[in-house]
Amino acid sequence: MNLPNALRFELGSFPLACGETVSAAQLDYRVFGELNRERSNLVLYPSSYGAWPEDIAWVVGPILDPSEHCVVLVSQFGNGRSSSPSNGGPPLGQGGWPIDHRDNLQAQIRLLEEVFGVERPALVYGWSMGAQQAYHWAVLEPQRPRRICCVCGTARTTPHNRLFLLSLRQALSADPAWNGSGFDAVPEQGLRTFALIYASWAASQPYYRRGAHRELGYDTVEHYVEDSWLPAYRRHDPRDLIAMLDVWLANDVAAAADTSLATALGRIQAATAVVAGRHDLYFPPADCAHEAALIPAATLHVLESDLGHRAGNPRQAPAEQAQLRAVVEELLSR
């Protein structure tokens, strides 16, 4: 698949939900397929943690059909492509990260309205942190999305998931290069610890039990992490990694809507598919099922896979792709 050119949407002076303002905010995005005459076929896919558009573009074709839909992949704030600590001026590069998913939502609304003339996307599809953004669309702007597909993600970060995120944050901030608000050098030891933690959570116990890392050519899990996982995080500015962690930690549609979780999810008008991974350690099926039960007419689907959290992003796993494609096709028929 040929990857479209990167596009940039200039937001200008952008007010944040916290009360601060970013003076020259921007969104990075890519477009696959064409908008129809009625402007009714746009699918928005917000990025997941650490993902750039080229990392998730494989979904276009196997899961999201560009011959039927105009698929827009958008980088969330903080991922190094859209406005982030690594490329933004005050207040983005100074200490605490002031952005949360409410800001991602408002920026994406402006992108769709001002660039595409679309107020109501046909579908907001998201995996992991992308699912969190889909939930914010449906709760805070219930009249806008016609459908949402939330894959391996929750509307509120759970206490157990929070511990995972705090361990990642501690791995980076405990590195000697951390100065209290940024890094004086590349946090090499912190990044190695970060990758070890991530690799132990993102896949599942059955995945490692069957020796899936050996099937990929790695004789030990240590080599697997060093050669497969560490490069994925070393390519990022570590300030961006922390910024995205802070957004994930703050993820809570109930707090964003200033109400209870049941009331917030009960506001959803969009046709909703909630997709859990059977062995997802971040967002286990029970957590996803709890939220799905609070959403009017939501359908719950469980991916039968030992890929763990990565079952929701099965780049080289045809069986999992087929399961996701079936979910999307059913949802688009509603």
The phi, psi pair for 230, rounded to 5°, reads -60, -45
pLDDT per position as a tens digit, 214-223 = 999 999 999 9
- At 93 the pLDDT is 63
With beta carbons less than 8 A apart as the criterion, state whether 46 and 108 touch: yes
Q: Is 189 within 8 Å of 297 (Cβ atoms)? A: no
Are 99 and 247 in contact, with CB atoms under 8 Å apart?
A: yes
Residues 47 and 130: beta-carbon distance below 8 Å? yes
Residues recognised as catalytic: 128, 280, 309
**pLDDT attached to residue 94:** 57
Residue 139 near residue 256, CB atoms below 8 Å: yes
Question: pLDDT tens digit string along 267-295?
Answer: 999 999 999 999 999 999 999 999 999 99
Residue 91 is predicted with a pLDDT of: 75
**Cα 196 from Cα 112, distance rounded (Å):** 38
What are the φ/ψ torsions at residue 291 (nearest 5 degrees)?
A: -75, -40
**pLDDT digits 0-9 by tens, 43-65:** 999 999 999 999 999 999 999 99
Low-confidence ranges of the chain (pLDDT < 70): 1, 90, 93-95
